[in-house]
Amino acid sequence: MIVHSRIEGTQLAGNLLGDPTERDLFVYLPPGYEESETRYPTAYLLHALGSSAQLEVTPETDGQRWHPAVEDVLEPVFGRLGAAPMIVVIPDCVCRYGCGQWVDSPVSGNFEQYVLHDVIPHVDTAYRTIPDVSSRGVFGFSSGGFGSWNLASRNPEAFGAMAVLSADSWLDMTHKVMLYKYLDSISPEAPDGPVEGNFWAEIVYNYSATYSPNPDNPPYYVDLPVAFPSGELIQEVWDRWLSFDPVVNVHERLDNLRKLHGIMLDAGSNDDYNLHWGHRLLSHYLTEAGIAHEHLENTGNHGGRYAERYQVALEWLSEILERE
C-alpha cells in the first residue's frame, strides 16, 4: 500500500527558480503494516533526473521507455523474494531545471536539508518507523544514486546504509564531455539558458544550478564551467562541480563512511555514460582505505535494468538495517 501526502518543505523556501515548497511524498507500507503494531526499518528511495516522486509511483505510459509502477517493483521484494518488510519513502526533488540532485543550492533548493529536516521528521512522526540511524537507509539510481552518496556520506548520523546505483561519478571522465556536447548542440549560438527539448542544454543548466549556482548571475543564476566561444574549461567553476564528485570527495569523507553499517555500489557494465568506471574507481578508493563495501556490476546499460537493481538494493538493505 502506498500513502500519498503533501508536505511543506521549509528548507526549500527562497529557491531562486521559484519552485513550490509544498511537495509530494509517497510512503510504501509493507504487507501486514495495518494489522500489526510492529515498527519497521525505513529505506529512502531517491528518484533520478527526469523522474519525480509522482512518476515513480504512476509512470507515464507513452515515450520510448516503459517503466513499471514502483509498487509493482516493491511488492515482489517483500513477497516472493522473501525480504524482511520495510517502509519505503519516496520524496520529491524536481526543480524547474530538472532535478535538484539531492544537494543544497540557493538556486534549485536545499534538497539535502529538505530530506534531513522536513521529510525524515515527518515520516518518523507519521509512521511506525524505527527512528534510529541503524534502521534507516537510502538508495537510488543515477541522480538518485548520486543523492544517496551525498546524503549518507555527509550525514552518517541520519543514514546508516546506502545503496548507490549507477550514480554520477568521475565527472572528469563522464561529465566534462557533456559541456562540449551542449556547445555543439546550440552552435553557432552562445549559451542562453536551458532549451526545451535539447537534452544537453537542459542537463548542463541543471548541473550548473546544483554544482555551480550563482545568485548574482541572473537570469539563470549559474556559472557554466566552459567559456564561449573558445571552449576553454573554467577551472575554478569546474572545481566546484568536482567537489560534489564521489571519487573526489570520498577522501575527505572517510571518517563518515567508516560510521556506516553498509555501502553498496552497483552499475551496469554497459552504462551509456560510462558511470561504471566511476563506480570502479570509487570502489578502489574505498578498498585502499580499508572500508568494507559491496561492489556489483550487471550487464545492463544506464537505466535498462533499474527496476531489478532497486530490488537488489532493497534485498540488501533489508539485511543491513536493524529491526525490532
**pTM for the predicted model, two decimal places:** 0.96
Residue 64 has pLDDT above 60, yes or no: no
Provide the grid cell at 324: 525490532
pLDDT digits (tens, 9 = 90+) for 255-266: 999 999 999 999
Residue 62 has pLDDT above 80, yes or no: no
pLDDT digits (tens, 9 = 90+) for 43-52: 999 999 999 9
* pLDDT confidence of residue 65: 61
Compute the average pLDDT of residues 291-317: 94
Distance between terminal CA atoms of the chain?
A: 21
Instruction: Report the run of H or E that residue 239 belongs to, with start and end.
Output: helix 235-242
d(CA 225, CA 171): 12
- The CATH topology of domain 2-169+245-320 is Rossmann fold (3.40.50)
Name the residue among 296, 298, 28, 289 with its Cα closest to residue 153.
Answer: 289
* Contact of 26 with 59, CB cutoff 8 Å: no
DSSP string, 133-153: GGGEEEEEETHHHHHHHHHHH
* Contact of 245 with 140, CB cutoff 8 Å: no
Residue 304 has pLDDT above 90, yes or no: no
Point out which residues pair with 267 in neighbouring strands.
297
Residue type, 318: S
Give the residue extent of every domain in the chain.
2-169+245-320, 172-242
* pLDDT confidence of residue 238: 98
* Contact of 69 with 59, CB cutoff 8 Å: yes
pLDDT digits (tens, 9 = 90+) for 103-153: 999 999 999 999 999 999 999 999 999 999 999 999 999 999 999 999 999
Residue type, 144: G
The neighbour count for residue 240, using CB atoms within 10 Å, is 17
pLDDT digits (tens, 9 = 90+) for 3-40: 999 999 999 999 999 999 999 999 999 999 999 999 99
Q: Is the peptide bond before 215 cis (omega within 30 degrees of 0)?
A: no
DSSP string, 1-55: -EEEEEEE-GGGTT-TT---SEEEEEEE--TTTTT----B-EEEEEPPTT--HHH
Compute the average pLDDT of residues 192-216: 97
**321 Cβ neighbours under 8 A, 6+ residues apart:** 41, 42, 43, 86, 134, 135, 136, 137, 160, 161, 261
